[in-house]
Amino acid sequence: RKEVEQDPGPFNVPEGATVAFNCTYSNSASQSFFWYRQDCRKEPKLLMSVYSSGNEDGRFTAQLNRASQYISLLIRDSKLSDSATYLCVVTDSGGGADGLTFGKGTHLIIQP
């Protein structure tokens, strides 16, 4: 059975701090990797894709380690608006045709 494991938190972090999350996935054949953000039981929204070479989008940096089967997300200079649940997501087929497998999410609370 394919699984994606995350620390559920909550992570309580002061505004302006740097916070990092990891997740691990069980299927070594997994093809694509993403971080999604979910606010208060609203729909998940794509935050960023994750590549082995690492990728950065503003204050957010994501990294994939295929050998160890883990994915990381780093948030720098955290803002109050970053408070949300962060979902680690993988697909097992190239292109994502067979949908997504979600971790249960890491809850982040940014404190003023």
Partner 1 sequence: EAQVTQNPRYLITVTGKKLTVTCSQNMNHEYMSWYRQDPGLGLRQIYYSMNVEVTDKGDVPEGYKVSRKEKRNFPLILESPSPNQTSLYFCASSRANYGYTFGSGTRLTVV
- Residues at the contact surface with partner 1, assessed by CB under 8 A: 32, 34, 36, 41-46, 49, 87, 94-105
Q: Which is nearer to partner 1, 3 or 15 (CB)?
A: 3
Residue 73: how many CB atoms within 10 A of its CB? 22
One DSSP character per residue, 53-87 reads: T-EEETTEEEEEETTTTEEEEEE-S--GGG-EEEE
Instruction: Name the residue nearer to partner 1 (CB basis): 76 or 104.
Output: 104
Q: Which is nearer to partner 1, 44 or 78 (CB)?
A: 44
Q: Which is nearer to partner 1, 78 or 101 (CB)?
A: 101
Tokens (6 digits) for 9: 């938190």
One-letter amino acid at 105 equals G
Minimum Å gap between C-beta 98 and partner 1 is 6
Q: Minimum distance between the CB of residue 32 and partner 1, rounded to whole angstroms?
A: 7
In the bound complex, what is the minimum distance in angstroms from residue 43's beta carbon to partner 1?
4
Q: In this structure, what token pair is assigned to residue 85? A: 């649940």
* Other residues' Cβ atoms within 10 Å of the Cβ of residue 109: 13
